[in-house]
Amino acid sequence: MTAKGGDKMDSERFLRSVINASPNAVITINESGEILIFSRMAQAMFGFAESEVLGKNVRVLMPEPDHSLHDGYMRRYIETGKANVIGRARPVTARRKNGDVFPAVLHISEFDEEERIFVGFIEDVSRQKATERRLEDTQLQLQHAGRIGAMGEIATSIAHELNQPLTAAASLAGAASLTLKKASFDGKDDALTLIDDAVSEIRRASGVIRQMRDFLRNRETERALHSINRIVEESCLIALIGAETDGVMVASALDDHAGSAMVDRIQLQQVIVNLIRNAVDAMQETRNKQLTIATASAGDFVEIRIADTGSGITDEMKKRLFEPFATTKEDGMGIGLSISKSIVEAHKGELFAMDNHPAGAVFVVKLPASKDGAKEDA
Ligand code: ADP
């Protein structure tokens, strides 16, 4: 673009308005690091008025160690032409007027006009970082809760499977001991002691299994009043990170009046994440891949619906859907839905599935809505 017939003042004014319109902070400096232009966004981001920083060294916007090292960086570049930062975006730490330090992404370009000018474009990424951290935290907690939940289910099944043979072994050993007592042979007492030892080992094994099951089952739950829409939104993000979602269209229909419920946030997220992942799995082979996540206020309840246009649930599977270890997947464990159901029921809610039309499945989580307007936890 050429500034037709415009004098220098016009093109400067034009340049300034472009710079001020940029959604990123724009700062230009000369070879000595002195600030020449400090855009409107830069003023908002750093808290300095332009007049406060014009002519000042740009290092006022940097915390240590860059604050002390920046002059050296610039000198080295000007002497050697070797650039570490020119032409590519890189993460940096910046400092506001009030001393707050924040993460940013900096992109520098260089212009050689009458003098050498460096233009920095700065994006404040503190919000993204905070969201990432919150998501990472939640994911960690979720994995932990998921592992504990899965272990609890497995422990219950193992305990159930092992208790029977252990009880049988204990009574068989008891019977052997009685039979031996009636007989007389050398070493009888030793044999009886050995059998008693075997019985106490069997009892110990049963005790260990019982303890493990009880320990894993009794995870402390932390119920608090939470916004259902917020939990659903966070769960979607978590569920869709790293999932095979190629071609899946995600639509959400969150009811502004869905309100809050007394729930264990991590557990409810575990349920929704599992339902979303199942929905995505069910659409692997179908051409139309539509995932709809909705919330709705329904009388005394709040509903969360996860609908897909996948394979649908087979008649055979419908009978066992919520049973532990029921799976149709090659690498499935079949415990997700059974844990989800027990979590929802522990919240005095319901979890059920229906056919979607014309194809696919809908899973519904129904939870008692909170009646009082108490303030929700963040
Ligand atoms: P897993 O995913 O390990 O198999 P789940 O308990 O979560 O364990 O699911 C059990 C089974 O229920 C799945 O293997 C699948 O057959 C069926 N299922 C779950 N969700 C859906 C769905 N959205 N569409 C069709 N079938 C489903």
Domain residue ranges in the chain: 11-124, 129-217, 223-368
* CATH number, domain 129-217, options 3.40.190.10, 1.10.3720.10, 1.10.287.130, 3.20.20.70: 1.10.287.130
Report DSSP state, residue 4: T
Higher pLDDT, 197 or 335: 197
The atom of ligand 1 lying closest to the CA of 335 is 6
Of 223, 362, 254, 369, nearest to 305 (Cα)?
362
Tell me which residue has its CA closest to atom 7 in ligand 1: 336
CA of 142 to the centre of ligand 1 (A): 19
Per-residue pLDDT tens digits for 291-344: 999 999 998 999 999 999 999 999 999 999 998 778 898 777 777 888 888 889
Token representation of residue 323: 């049973």
Q: State residue 216's pLDDT score.
A: 58
Token representation of residue 189: 């007492």
Tell me which residue has its CA closest to atom 13 in ligand 1: 327
What is the full DSSP assignment across 242-294?
TS--TT-EEEEE--TT--EEEEEHHHHHHHHHHHHHHHHHHTSS-S--EEEEE
Does the beta carbon of 229 lie inside 6 Å of ligand 1? no
Per-residue pLDDT tens digits for 245-261: 778 999 999 999 999 99
What is the spatial distance between Cα 26 and Cα 54, in angstroms, rounded to a whole number? 13
Sheet with strand 290-298: strands edge to edge: 249-253, 290-298, 301-307, 361-368, 350-355
Q: Within 13 Å of residue 366, how many CA atoms lie on the same side as its CB?
A: 11
Q: State residue 57's pLDDT score.
A: 94
Check pLDDT > 50 for residue 110.
Answer: yes
The β-bridge relationship of strands 290-298 and 301-307 is antiparallel
Token representation of residue 365: 């989580």
Sheet with strand 101-112: strands edge to edge: 35-38, 25-30, 116-124, 101-112, 90-95
CA of 295 to the centre of ligand 1 (A): 21
Check pLDDT > 80 for residue 242.
Answer: no
Token representation of residue 271: 């349920």
* CATH number, domain 11-124, options 3.40.1180.10, 3.30.450.20, 3.40.640.10, 3.30.70.260: 3.30.450.20
> What rounded mean pLDDT belongs to the chain?
84
> Is 223-368 the same fold as 129-217?
no
Does the beta carbon of 149 lie inside 6 Å of ligand 1? no
CA of 255 to the centre of ligand 1 (A): 27
Does the beta carbon of 321 lie inside 6 Å of ligand 1? yes
The atom of ligand 1 lying closest to the CA of 333 is 3
What per-residue string of b and e applies to 113-126 under the rule 16 or more CB within 10 Å gives b? Answer: eeeebbbbbbbbbe
The atom of ligand 1 lying closest to the CA of 329 is 14
Does the beta carbon of 329 lie inside 6 Å of ligand 1? yes
Per-residue pLDDT tens digits for 206-235: 777 776 666 555 556 678 999 999 999 989
If DSSP states are collapsed to H, E and C, what string results for 97-159? CCCCEEEEEEEEEEEECCCEEEEEEEEECHHHHHHHHHHHHHHHHHHHHHHHHHHHHHHHHHH
CA of 327 to the centre of ligand 1 (A): 6
The atom of ligand 1 lying closest to the CA of 332 is 3
Taking only Cα atoms into account, the Rg of the chain, rounded to an integer number of angstroms, comes to 33
Token representation of residue 63: 């915390």
CA of 341 to the centre of ligand 1 (A): 13
CA of 307 to the centre of ligand 1 (A): 13
What's the pTM value of the predicted model, to 2 decimals? 0.53
Report DSSP state, residue 322: T
Does the beta carbon of 313 lie inside 6 Å of ligand 1? yes
Does the beta carbon of 45 lie inside 6 Å of ligand 1? no
Superfamily of domain 223-368: Histidine kinase-like ATPase, C-terminal domain (3.30.565.10)
Is the Cβ–Cβ distance between 307 and 279 less than 8 Å?
Answer: yes
